[in-house]
Structure 1
């Protein structure tokens, strides 16, 4: 990762030209009824404003029209966001950013870094569990990024009480599916993971997809070393994780809506998280 890439700011709103290039081709539009009085770009930027500010929908600062009235009601913005979440538009926008990065040769898939992150939930909701390790009730996701801090695959979600290790085997098919969709070749790539993912099933799942695992040994309370051939491990690549995937999670925390989960419906929370990862990928093209 170059010095200029590491200092790129994460966009929090899109211009009309950026919206038409990266977002509009993937959004669904109503087939019946009158067209919306407000452009879709303005509605989408209101959703991004909620994501960045972390405010309630009713507290969203709405601009006024010529009559001095709010140009749109927050309920309409929420309903539009729920419709785009339900029909897969938000997921398609994220996949489109990965495709743009690949076509512009901005992806470095020689090393893929993965990790999980847990978000505390304060208001309850679905897909939650108590994490004894984190001492909080919430949910967790497992995500992958390349060496340039670009998220390259849809994340896998689970309650907070789930172990992260089995989630890797659910996330790998999404990674390979995304690679096939954009025409990328993952053969020979190195998958760098934390020691919590150290198990035979995970290593086999990575090997079967033509990739090489880079996972430190997890002793799991053993008093003597495990017998057998020593697994390959590159400590330099493992330390690179803290400049990539941990940096991505730090960028994610800039969006206040994701610091704590106040959404009772998990699909809404994951839609916001997908939008945040989309904006992280768009930092190469969009400058505030």
Structure 2
């Protein structure tokens, strides 16, 4: 039996964060159902199919209608709110492990170019985009951002840590700072270690000539696994969007879906 693209529980969570729209007094064509539109988003994200080839059987209208709704909800902050809501659900069941966090990045091709793309020095100078990810001790994606493939990983360590949302769900103050932060040698610098120390985060960043790959992989393999999960969504494996906000919307939605799998498993 085929698995549903949009389970009822997930739709209920997303629907609570969608903006409300009143019908225009001038009349016109009725607005397409939000749930059908979201199904179209998920289909494009998972299959990588072009917008204009969306199957009519999904009932999500034309590809351009779905694209406009995706952009509209991105501007309204829907995807970030949904991601934080899923994290809050996990926090309520104490399923976010704040003791340690890991940060890493991976590049994907971007043959169409566009915003936040650049020449990838590890892929013969071809155009590419880089996904920067910060996850908890199990690799649960907490923050994800994009940049050009030519941007060095170290430039996103501070922005990723600052972008961790304050997650409520248990008694006491909302939690947003991990106890320790693990990273490979690409993030090694005295400035980063001092910045983390001032914020009460123990820096576990590999140092040149000291930590070996085997010791680093003991903790950092989880974020590499999560990057692999993200790139199983075919729309993220190769970037086709020229607009950075549309690609960021797909990336945040994919992080929410990965977090939702943890909700189904542990909550």
Scaled to the shorter chain, the TM-score interval is 0.7 to 0.9
Structure 1 segment 171-210 matched on structure 2, within 5 A: 171-175=160-164, 178-179=165-166, 183-184=174-175, 186=177, 189-210=179-200
Structure 1 residue matching 2:141: 3-state secondary structure: coil
Structure 1 segment 231-270 matched on structure 2, within 5 A: 236=215, 238-242=217-221, 244-270=222-248
| Deviation digits for residues 206-258 of structure 1 (CA, Å, limit 9, x no counterpart) | 11110111111125xxxxxxxxxx8x99965642211x101101111211111
**Is the Cα contact below 8 Å between 2:88 and 2:167 reproduced in 1?**
no
**Is the Cα contact below 8 Å between 2:105 and 2:131 reproduced in 1?**
yes
The answer on 1:40 being equivalent to 2:34 is yes
**Is the Cα contact below 8 Å between 1:179 and 1:185 reproduced in 2?**
yes
Distance 2:176 2:249 in 1: 28
Structure possessing the higher radius of gyration over alpha carbons: 1
After the TM superposition, which parts of structure 1 deviate over 4 Å for at least 4 consecutive aligned residues? 34-38, 232-238
Distance 2:213 2:259 in 1: 27
The answer on 1:138 being equivalent to 2:128 is yes
Distance 1:102 1:71 in 2: 33
Q: TM-score, normalised by structure 2?
A: 0.86
Distance 2:34 2:253 in 1: 16
Structure 2 residue matching 1:285: 3-state secondary structure: helix
For structure 1, which segment, 203-212 or 156-165, has the greater mean C-alpha deviation from structure 2 after superposition? 156-165
The answer on 1:158 being equivalent to 2:147 is yes
Structure 1 segment 17-36 matched on structure 2, within 5 A: 17-20=9-12, 22-33=13-24
Distance 2:163 2:194 in 1: 17
Distance 2:199 2:142 in 1: 16
**Is the Cα contact below 8 Å between 1:144 and 1:151 reproduced in 2?**
yes
**Is the Cα contact below 8 Å between 1:150 and 1:281 reproduced in 2?**
yes
CA apart distance, 1:61: 1.2
Residue 63 of structure 1: aligned partner: 57
Q: Which runs of 5+ in 1 are unaligned?
A: 1-10, 65-69, 220-229
Residue 88 of structure 1: aligned partner: 77
Residue 74 of structure 1: aligned partner: 63
Distance 1:274 1:31 in 2: 27
How many residue pairs match? The answer is 255
Residue 94 of structure 2: aligned partner: 105
CA apart distance, 1:162: 1.4
The answer on 1:274 being equivalent to 2:264 is no
**Is the Cα contact below 8 Å between 1:14 and 1:286 reproduced in 2?**
no
Distance 1:140 1:245 in 2: 15
**Is the Cα contact below 8 Å between 1:123 and 1:263 reproduced in 2?**
yes
Distance 1:255 1:213 in 2: 31
CA apart distance, 1:114: 0.7
Q: TM-score, normalised by structure 1?
A: 0.80
CA apart distance, 1:133: 2.9
The answer on 1:14 being equivalent to 2:6 is yes
CA apart distance, 1:36: 5.1
**Is the Cα contact below 8 Å between 1:12 and 1:279 reproduced in 2?**
no
Q: Cα–Cα, structure 1 residues 116 and 165, in superposed 2: closer, same or farther, change >3 Å?
A: same
